[in-house]
Amino acid sequence: MTEQVAVQVTDESDLDLRRAAALIREVPDFPEPGVLFRDISPMLADGAGLRAVVSALGRDCEFDVVAGVEARGFLVGAAVAQAFGTGVIGLRKPGKLPVVADRVDYELEYGRATLELPADTLRSGQRVLIVDDVLATGGTLGAACRLVRQAGAEVAAAAVVLELTALEGRDKLMGEEVRALLQA
């Protein structure tokens, strides 16, 4: 059984974001027992909700390219890149890229993972907006920031749809500009 998640919009004056927030669900024990998954699929399926999120993620940020984190960061990141006229890069799980520029191992809320950067996608000095769906423990976004820097590019900001504040992931991203549209 799923239920609506009570989230706070970081910009309460944004009525469109408030509407999008109402579309996010909590799914207990997914992907494994003890993990509470935030499902943004209904928000992505809603045109107005998706437009509100895409607009807010890229607003007031100077960036040359978007890096979307696998998997749902691809969906939102590609939409942000298209809306703001930039390119998009997919930061992938291992074994998905034919040529890898670099990789980083990191800790997740429910295990360990690896993130890989495709070769020949970032140039030195480029400003990168990293986009993902949820900020939980900070492991994934931290790995994404390290990959971007190892390529010689700059992190313009790490932007997420939903931040799970109880997991204190923002604390692991000290020195990074973290943009969370919604918090729970």
What backbone phi and psi angles, to 5 degrees, belong to 122?
Answer: -115, 145
CB 125 within 8 A of CB 153: yes
Q: Which residues does the annotation mark as catalytic?
A: 72, 109
User: Cα separation of 89 and 77, whole Å?
Assistant: 8
Question: In whole angstroms, what separates CA 178 from the centre of its chain?
Answer: 10
SS3 77: helix
Q: How far, CA to CA in Å, does 182 sit from each of 88, 153, 154? A: 23, 27, 25
> How is residue 172 annotated by DSSP?
G
Q: At what angle do helices 72-84 and 47-58 cross, to 10 degrees?
A: 70
